[in-house]
A and B are shown apart, each in its own frame.
Chain A
Amino acid sequence: MSSAIEIRDVHYRAGKAFEIRDLALNVPTGSMYGFLGPNGSGKTTTIRLLLGLLRPRQGIITVLGGSIPREAPRVLARTGYVPELPHLYPSLTVAEALHFHAAFYPTWDWKWADELVLQFQLDRGGLLSRLSKGEMGKLEMLLALAQRPELLVLDEPTDGLDPVVRRDVLTAVLDYVSQQNATVFISSHLVHELERICDWVGVMDRGRLVAELPMHSFKNGIKRLRVLNAPALAGDTPFVVLSRDAANGSAETWVVRGWQPPMSQWFTGVGATLKEVIDLDLEEGFVELLRTFRVPQA
């Protein structure tokens, strides 16, 4: 399986307060990679590193086969980027912004750009400084899509947008991916949003990659178990116990990772009874994952 983005042993430090350490990340070509993490976890910094906007202290970054930052211009020509904050020139109109952007991309598709302008209901003569947050978000997405990129890097693209605009934006991305088989790297702290569209997920926290796995493994592998007469010490378990909480009486609630149905046998072996296996959604799993990541550090 080839990689659209490959990051190895990257170290970056911004001031004294924040650093990214030993970052290793792999985005398969053609995947939709959800990049999760709480605010300030290092998602935007990682994105800027992989686009060559920041220079790592050490490590290797390869995007679309090109080394970053050395080959950044060549890579950027094939990459659509929607930043976290609007970055376009506010004194331009929508039409002027389109013309400016198009001039830099040989693969720019005017026909599709025009369709997207209509679809997003953007006023060509409107000044960027007067666009609403939603309109600006749609314009940024339009610019990224109309250049027909092989890789879309979206940094919190729907943050702060109303549900209708969010749906429009994500639909446009999905349409594009279905047509082009492009790779999408999308960061967000809105877990539900990624759950529906991503097939890979990476989780960042405090400058480190906590987990990176296919979405189905992530969603299916984390369970909440209701256990009666649980042993005081769990000992060797075939799964990873993320947390144990006392419920009422002799009942306990466990959150585990790497669960598979045959593992229920283990409880019988230790004299406990597995009463119930509950599926967790992505957000609950995400929260539990972060909780276990942070506990040892605390």
Chain B
Amino acid sequence: MFRAILYTQWKWSRFPLLLGVLAGFALPLLSVQRVSSVTGYWQTRTMLASVQAWGILYPILGASLALLVGALAWAADHRGRHVYALSLPVPRWHYALLRFGAGVVLLAAPVMAVWIGGILATATVTIPTGLHAYPTMLAARFALAVFVTYALFFAISAGTVRMAGYVLGALATVLVVEVITNAAGAHVSLLENLLLALVVWPGPLDVLTGRWMLIDV
């Protein structure tokens, strides 16, 4: 049963996944590419700067893949108004769990690509004294970021149109309240606080923020 679900999800999300695997493998290699041309005392600074600059792309890649795989897991069922899925002889929670698990398994591929790419990248450059390579920790962080964002987008995508309406309505209400209170002279930052609650520890998207360093002190 799981294999059948896994196969369908693979078929729907194979193009973004393959691109993700490619990008995940290439990112660590690209992040140290410039370093190999720099020698002497500039190498440490160049390495840190380059790794940090390329590091921005890990959470972007992870979140994009999670969004696509999470949304594509349900897209076909949404199109068929869930009639087929609901007529299958499995409880709804079981079906959702199968789809969720299939997405997690598929997303393991780009995580592995980041890990292998990281190991290769750090093996191909000379790391200056005082710096260390963290390919495994980087891949683990990437895995967690992908897992959290996938779970979030999967849950959103699993919801009904009515639920999406409630969420959008709540957001619109917050926005209207903020506009009205600010117009009345009171300084209220509901949306800003909402966003901060998401991205600042212990918010769910905190794992995406901060520096992503393949090589660090």
Instruction: Report A's interface with B, CB cutoff 8 A.
Output: 51-53, 73-77, 81, 83, 85, 87-92, 96, 99-100, 102-105
Contacts and interface: CB of A to CB of B under 8 A. Distances in A.
Interface stretch (B53-61, B84-92, B137-145): B84-92
A99 to B, nearest CB: 6
Given A89-B76, A91-B11, A91-B12, A51 B4 contact: no
Contacts of B162: none
Majority DSSP secondary structure for residues of B touching A: helix
B8 interface: yes
Nearest to B76: A89
A102 B7 CA distance: 13
B11 A73 contact: no
A77 B76 contact: no
A73 B94 CA distance: 10
A89 B8 contact: yes
Interface string B1-41: 10110011001100000000000000000000000000000
A73 B87 contact: no
Contacts of B11: 91-92, 96
**Which one of A99, A102, A104 has the greatest number of beta carbons of chain B within 10 Å?**
A104
B210 interface: no
Contacts of A83: 83, 87
**Which one of A52, A77, A87 has the greatest number of beta carbons of chain B within 10 Å?**
A87
Contacts of A53: 83, 86-87
Interface string B140-160: 000000000000000000000
Contact of B80 (A76, A87, A104): A87
Nearest to A76: B89
Given A91-B11, A104-B4, A73 B91 contact: yes
Nearest to A53: B86
Contacts of A88: 80, 84
Interface in B84-109: 84, 86-91, 94
**Which one of B76, B79, B80, B84 has the greatest number of beta carbons of chain A within 10 Å?**
B84
13 contacts: A53-B87, A73-B89, A73-B94, A76-B88, A76-B89, A77-B89, A87-B80, A87-B87, A92-B8, A96-B11, A100-B4, A102-B4, A104-B4
B23 to A, nearest CB: 24
B87 A103 contact: no
Contact of A89 (B1, B80, B81, B87): B80
A92 B80 CA distance: 14
B14 to A, nearest CB: 11
Nearest to B91: A73
A154 to B, nearest CB: 13
A71 to B, nearest CB: 10
B76 to A, nearest CB: 5
Contacts of A92: 8, 11
A104 B85 CA distance: 11
A76 B155 CA distance: 26
A75 B89 CA distance: 7
Interface in B44-94: 76, 79-81, 83-84, 86-91, 94
